[in-house]
Amino acid sequence: MIELKGIITMVNGPVLKATSMTGFKMREMVMVGGKKLIGEVIALEGDRGTIQVYEETEGLKSGESVISTGKPLSLKLGPGLIGNIFDGIERPLLEINSVSEGFIPEGIGLLSIDTEKKWKVCITVKENDVLREGQCFATVEETSLILHKVLVPQGMSGKVIEKKEDGFYNIEETLLVIEDDEGKMYPLRLSHEWPVRTPRPVKERLPISSLLVTGQRVLDIFFPVAKGGTAAIPGGFGTGKTMTQHQLAKWSDADIIVYIGCGERGNEMTEVLEDFPKLIDPKTGKSIMERTILIANTSNMPVAAREASIYTGITIAEYYRDMGYNVAIMADSTSRWAEALREISGRLEEMPAEEGYPAYLPSRLAEFYERAGYIKTLNDQEASITIIGAVSPAGGDFSEPVTENTKRYVNAFLGLDKKLAYARHYPAINWLNSYSGYVKMLGNWYEKNVNEDVLELRAKMIRILHEENKLQEIVQLVGEDVLPDDQRLILEISRVLRIGFLQQNAFHKDDTFVPLIKQYKMLKCIELLYDKAHLTIKKGVPISKVKNEMLFGEVTKMKYTVSNDDLSEIDKISEKIVQYYDDLIKEYG
Amino acid sequence: MSKEYLLLDKIEGPLIFLSRAEDVSYGEVIDITLDDGNKRRGRVIKIDKDAIVAQIFEGSSGFSVVNSSVRFSGKPFELPMSKEILGRTFNGIGEPIDQGGNIFSKDVYNVNGRPINPVARKYPRNYIQTGISSIDGLATLIRGQKLPIFSGNGLPHNEIAAQIVKQANISEKEGEEFAVVFAAIGVKHDDADYFRKTFEESGVLERVVMYINLANDSIVERVMTPRCALTAAEYLAFEKNMHILVIMTDITSYCEALREISSAREEVPSRKGYPGYLYSDLASIYERAGMMKHKGGSITFLPILTMPNDDITHPVPDLTGYITEGQIVLSRELFQQNIYPPISILPSLSRLMKDGIGEGFTREDHPDVANQIFASYSKVQDIRALAQIIGEDDLSELDNLYIKFGRLFEEKFIRQDFDDNRSISETLDLAWDMLSQLPKEELERIDPEMLGKYYQGKSGK
């Protein structure tokens, strides 16, 4: 390959312009200036080109060179990703820290996953086997949880003509050589490269059919997110977006979690790095760090790399999906990514659309969320990518462009509410304006895995909460005392629902993750309380008697008092409820 | 011998445009000498072929297109640092304005700093007792945290910051050194003097480094002021292992200066005319707070900003809240009721508090108590709204208890004298006094065991 060389003519923050760029390709990765900063070509016109730079540009001079690499911004994919933390262009932060302790310097070049480490490789094919693209030819135990399946890269296929023995190899060593029908030979390694902006191919998309179990009651029962689905969590600052994302990353039953800290706080990433290794996944009994990949572009890191970080995250997710895993992505926050687009667009002096955002914002958002899905891999395995994106609307106003456009492309919308957050009701998901389009699709799943009346129960409880909302408006005007008893019961039951069910304590050992069956039983118990109390009121018993402090308190507190492994306590509470109201009716009968 | 450029193309606001410049690097510092011998400094902010745009720190008044000679230094904007800066006062670009003379040191630091690698950070977990109940109890300050005060014009944010400086135990243990870095960004003379006086009175003046850019100083200097101050803070914290409290007032002036320069550069504006990069720019300031592994010191950052028209959704508080680890919000309503400090507790929040309080840090009951107060006080607001309509007489018995709790809470817990320094257990005991006004059944957020231990009221039924 001939190395092409452009000359810098303009520097404006992370955006450069250069001449003599004939021959450079769009989206090609380039090295800029004497420090060899990493950049990407984002516009070409005649022999002039525009480049966004992923590192601090201070000190660059007009007249310095721009050197081509001949390939688009790509990631090296192979074992060594899990449990690691990378910057927006997949450079390992731990390694950067060993090069330059403390602060992130410029011009460290393009580092990637560890090329030295020897992995124990088990080759699963024989000589003369015919391999097609996407087929697994070797396995590596990447962590105790994840078996890394090494796949034949796209565009390669053929007969195995050379094979190494099982043993220890690094990611660059050739393991197999295959020869296709035309006699072309391909060496296969543990790793290969993939351009970040290109979605990886799949065989077909499958309909959505199973729940991403998160252990969070308000999600799993009220606003479920499906495996392969998309969800947005919008909320002003302080409403708990990051907390919710952390909870999902910790407890959801995906095989692999990719957590993208996009333009957020440095300490939040540090917190993940400190906490996650200590947390044990309830399903596997292993540390959850063994299934987590972190991408960090904190708010003070270069803005162009923020734009790339989202693509880096999703490409890594697709890589593991292709091995047949269910992957979930937490992107915190997509608004910072949109703002990075806006900032670069502004520097390019493009015509702005709404609030200064570029006109291509909706299409970029769509491209991102559409990479989620429940699919069949090239190797005929079912796998999925679920995307859960946090949105940080300016001023907490959900009508701003990023929230509005995100709403168009996601199926579940979990709106966080300032007022709930002020009262420290977490997760502060507002049950009145949130929605999930997956409820119906998951009907069968609930029926098979929990109980057939889950959706009915959910609908009933939501009805009560909506009714409460209407009643609260009246209460705000005239007070609670004037309401008839059956309406006051609605208020009381809603209180139990809100505090005892919807609110969930992330710091409590049992409450932080609740098995689905306990969630269901808790809700059934609340329903029983309502039905029985309602019946008793209809018989003319006054609310003051019907609302038994002890009983209501016990139901509200069962999230803490009933342990996750022994649900018989809930049955006991249910018995008490039946007993109490039967007695009451007799007394008044 | 570097070249001198004698002809400018254009002067606009604090910006100068010149062409045919050679070998200029982005961000480098320029020295300008006017024909009357007056010297200015500036910084390159855009290069387009051989044309450059530079901003002049001291402003461009007195410039004509022919009366100045521009020289490129070839260096980014750097400041010399040594421990001699303690007790000194500088202007917004780090030049001494007291009588102490220049700082000489071979350690020079780029004022823009570099992003801290998230893997090198140490997660802040140790709380700082400020002696102010509403902060210690409900929005606990953690060493290494960035916790802004959201205020409004005329509210006593300066007093609160001063009280924190006076009372906070900034150094971790006996013998560890601490210092205060103070940056005045476009504030009035009075405000700057007030802080100077406070530092003097609390006897920390020789441990304070001040960077002063007053309201009538140049706006380009204003944009550099927080960066200079944080460079000093980073030097003291991470090179000299000191515990640093950074106080900055007023971030709103900083953002306005940024907007002014942006509009002079004819950039595409986003919300309310602020530039699209305001978030990244603010982050490059706020994120410099923190603690690092293998380094002894810490930077605790207390920026103050005034919300225009008390509007928390204004871009400046809004973007700040998205970057900082919580906020302390002041309320005009409490201030008008003559309650000092007028801290509006419901929107106030400390994100790092969850890991820095409770058993082993403050006291076992702290998390539950804080949670309960938020829940109960938020209920007080609902009942007050109701009482406005139906009158207090028609409220239920329980509602009346809440009203009483709310009143007492504001009068006894929030209200505190300027020189009242409460320990954390005093604060928590006081909180229990307040909560004990409510029936036990109402305290749903508190572990029954704690209730048994600390609750002093009587049970409802």
Residue A158 has pLDDT above 80, yes or no: yes
pLDDT-derived band at B447 (thresholds 50, 70, 90) equals confident
Subunit contact A85:B118, Cβ cutoff 8 A: yes
pLDDT at residue A348, rounded to an integer: 85
Size of chain B, expressed as the number of residues it contains:
461
One-letter amino acid at A458 equals R
Per the CB < 8 A criterion, the answer to whether B24 and A61 are in contact is yes
- CA neighbours within 13 Å on the CB side: how many for A117? 14
* Contact (CB<8Å) B122/A270: yes
Tell me, what DSSP letter sits at residue A441?
A: T
Q: Kindly provide the ipTM of the predicted complex, given to two decimals.
A: 0.87
Q: Are A223 and A436 in contact (CB under 8 A)?
A: yes
Closest partner CB to A61 (pick from B25, B112, B396): B25
> Which of residues A369 and B390 earns the better pLDDT score?
A369
What are the tokens at B240? Answer: 């000299």
Task: Tell me the C-alpha distance between A77 and A192, whole Å.
Answer: 6
Residues A272 and B355: their CA atoms lie apart, in Å, by 13
- CB–CB contact A93 B49 (8 Å): no
- Answer whether A263's CB lies under 8 Å from B279's CB: yes
Residue B45 has phi, psi (to 5 degrees) of -120, -5
Measured CA to CA, the distance from residue B88 to residue B107 in angstroms comes to 18
Could you report the per-residue pLDDT of A56-84, keeping only the tens digit for each?
888 898 889 999 998 898 999 999 999 99
Q: What angle do CA A6, A7, A12 make, to 5 degrees?
A: 115
Considering only residues A313 and A277, tell me which one the structure prediction assigns the higher pLDDT: A313
Which one, of A87, A464, A530, lies nearest residue A522 by Cα? A530
What whole-number distance in Å separates Cα of residue B339 and Cα of residue A360? 50
Contact in structure between A132 and A180 (CB atoms under 8 Å): no
Q: Which residues face B142 on adjacent strands?
A: B127
pLDDT at site A1: 60
Instruction: Measure B326 CA to nearest chain A CA, in Å.
Output: 7
CB contact under 8 A, B290 and A346: no
User: What's the confidence (pLDDT) of residue B460?
Assistant: 44
pLDDT for A492 beyond 90: yes
Q: Do B48 and A17 touch (CB under 8 A)?
A: yes
Per-residue pLDDT band for A13 (boundaries 50, 70, 90) equals: confident
A57 to B26: CB separation less than 8 angstroms, yes or no: yes
Q: Which of A7, A54, A62, A247 to mutate to test the interface with B (most CBs of B within 10 A)?
A: A62
Residues A270, B119: Cα–Cα separation, whole Å: 6
Residue A209 pLDDT grade (very low, low, confident, very high; cuts 50, 70, 90): very high
Quick check: A235 and A413 in contact, CB under 8 A? no
Q: Shortest CA distance to A144 belongs to which of A248, A286, A243?
A: A286
CB contact under 8 A, B374 and A424: yes
CA proximity to A431, closest of A501, A502, A505: A502
Q: Higher model confidence: residue A111 or residue A146?
A: A146
What single string gives the DSSP state of each residue in A349-375?
TPPB-GGG-BTTHHHHHHHHHTT-EEE
Q: Nearest-CA residue of chain B relative to A347? A: B267
**Tens digit of each residue's pLDDT (9 = 90 or more) over B147-189:** 999 999 999 999 999 999 889 887 767 678 889 999 999 999 9
Torsion of CA B327, B331, B334, B336, to 10 degrees: 150
Please write the tens of the pLDDT for every residue from B30-42. Answer: 999 988 888 899 9
Q: Which two tokens stand for residue A403?
A: 């929230």
CB spacing of B116 vs A300 below 8 angstroms: yes
Residues A143, A154 contacting (CB under 8 angstroms): no
% of chain A beyond a pLDDT of 70: 100
Q: Which amino acid is at B359?
A: E
Contact flag B124-A271 (C-beta cutoff 8 Å) = no
**CA-wise closest residue to B260 among B245, B275, B279:** B275
Chain B residues inside the 8 Å CB shell of A94:
119
Which residues of chain A are within 8 Å of residue B369 when distances are taken between CB atoms? none
Contacts of A355 in chain B (CB under 8 A): 270-271
Please give the average per-residue pLDDT across A229-239, as a whole number.
93
pLDDT of residue B260 exceeding 70, the answer is yes
Residue whose C-alpha is closest to residue A392's, from A528, A521, A237, A518: A237
pLDDT value, residue A120: 95
Residue A559 has pLDDT above 70, yes or no: yes
The shortest CB-CB distance from A300 to any of B122, B269, B283 is to B283
pLDDT tens column, B223-252: 999 999 999 999 999 999 999 999 999 999
The pTM is what? 0.91
Q: Do B124 and A57 touch (CB under 8 A)?
A: no
A interface mutation test: which of B45, B47, B377 has the most A CBs within 10 A? B47
Q: At B287, list the tokens.
A: 């994120």
- Tokens 């390669």, residue located: A156
Output A304 or B237, whichever has higher pLDDT: B237
pLDDT in tens, B122-134: 999 888 999 999 9
Residue A199 pLDDT class (50, 70, 90 cuts): very high
pLDDT value at residue B172: 66
* pLDDT per residue as tens digits for the range B89-121: 999 999 999 998 999 999 999 999 999 999 999
Which among B25, B49, B386 has CB closest to A479?
B386
User: Do A299 and B287 lie within an 8 Å CB cutoff?
Assistant: yes
Q: pLDDT (tens digit, 9 = 90+) per residue, B7-35?
A: 889 888 889 999 888 888 888 999 999 88
For B377, the 3-state DSSP assignment is: helix
Residue B213, beta-bridge partner list? B185
**Residue B95 neighbours by CB under 8 Å, 6+ apart:** none
Q: What is the mean pLDDT of residues A142-156?
A: 93
* CA-based end-to-end distance of chain B: 90
Rounding to the nearest 10 degrees, give the CA dihedral for residues A274, A276, A278, A281: 180
- Work out the pLDDT band at B458, boundaries 50, 70, 90: low
Tens digit of pLDDT for each residue in B324-340?
Answer: 999 999 999 999 999 99
Q: What mean pLDDT, rounded, does chain A reach?
A: 92
pLDDT at residue B252 in the model: 96
How is residue A460 written in tokens?
A: 């009933």
Does an H or E element contain A285, and which? none
Segment among A429-433, B35-39, B171-175, B379-383 with least mean pLDDT: B171-175
Q: Is the dihedral of CA B432, B435, B438, B443 positive or negative?
A: negative
Q: What is the dihedral of CA A98, A99, A103, A107, to 10 degrees?
A: -150
User: What is the 3-state composition of chain B as percent helix, strand, coil, each rounded to the nearest 5?
Assistant: 40, 25, 40
Q: How far is A208 from chain B (nearest CA, A)?
A: 34
For A401, the token pair is: 């462009």
SS3 A151: strand
d(CA A371, CA A202): 11
Q: How many CA atoms lie within 13 A of A254 on its CB side?
A: 34
Q: Is the pLDDT of residue B82 over 60?
A: yes
Q: What single DSSP character describes residue B171?
A: S
Q: How many CA atoms lie within 13 A of B306 on its CB side?
A: 18
Alpha carbon B211 to its chain centroid, in Å, reads: 14
Half-sphere exposure of B307 (CA within 13 A, CB side): 25
pLDDT in tens, B392-439: 888 888 999 999 999 999 999 999 999 999 999 999 999 999 999 999
The better pLDDT of the pair B253, A99 is held by B253
DSSP-derived pairing of the beta strands A136-141 and A256-262: unpaired
Taking CA atoms, A224 is separated from A57, A81, A524, B6, B343, in Å, by 44, 29, 18, 68, 38
Crossing angle of the two packed helices B251-264 and B219-234, in degrees rounded to 10: 130
Q: Could you tell me which of B219, B205, B224 has the C-alpha nearest to residue B110?
A: B224
Rounded to the nearest 5 percent, the helix, strand and coil shares of chain A are 35, 25, 40
Cα distance between residue B401 and residue B439, in whole Å: 9
Q: Is the confidence at residue A225, as pLDDT, over 60?
A: yes
3-class SS at A326?
strand
Describe the crossing of helices A516-538 and A549-561 by its angle, rounded to 10 degrees. 170
- DSSP H/E element including B317: helix B315-323
- B275–A266 C-beta distance less than 8 A: no
pLDDT category, A313, cuts 50, 70, 90?
very high
Q: Is the dihedral of CA B17, B19, B24, B29 positive or negative?
A: negative
Task: Find which of B145, B322, B446 to mutate to test the A interface (most A CBs within 10 Å of its CB).
Answer: B322
Which chain A residue lies closest to B21 (C-alpha atoms)?
Answer: A62
Using CB atoms, which residue from A59, A475, A479 is nearest to B27?
A: A59
Q: How far apart are alpha carbons B29 and B70 in whole angstroms?
A: 10
Higher pLDDT, residue A536 or A284: A536
- Under the banding of pLDDT at 50, 70 and 90, the label for residue B461 is very low
Inspect the interface and report whether the beta carbons of A267 and B121 lie closer than 8 Å. Answer: yes
Looking at residue A588, its pLDDT comes to 85
Q: Which residue has the higher pLDDT, A258 or A108?
A: A258
* Per-residue burial over B189-205, b = 16 or more CB atoms within 10 Å of its CB, e = otherwise: eebbebbbebbeeeebb
**Chain A hits for B271, Cβ within 8 Å:** 355-356, 394
Residues of B in contact with A59 (CB under 8 A): 25-28, 76
Measured CA to CA, the distance from residue B42 to residue B60 in angstroms comes to 10
Asked whether the beta carbons of A533 and A562 are under 8 A apart, the reply is no
Q: Which residues contact A459 (CB under 8 A, 6 or more apart)?
A: none
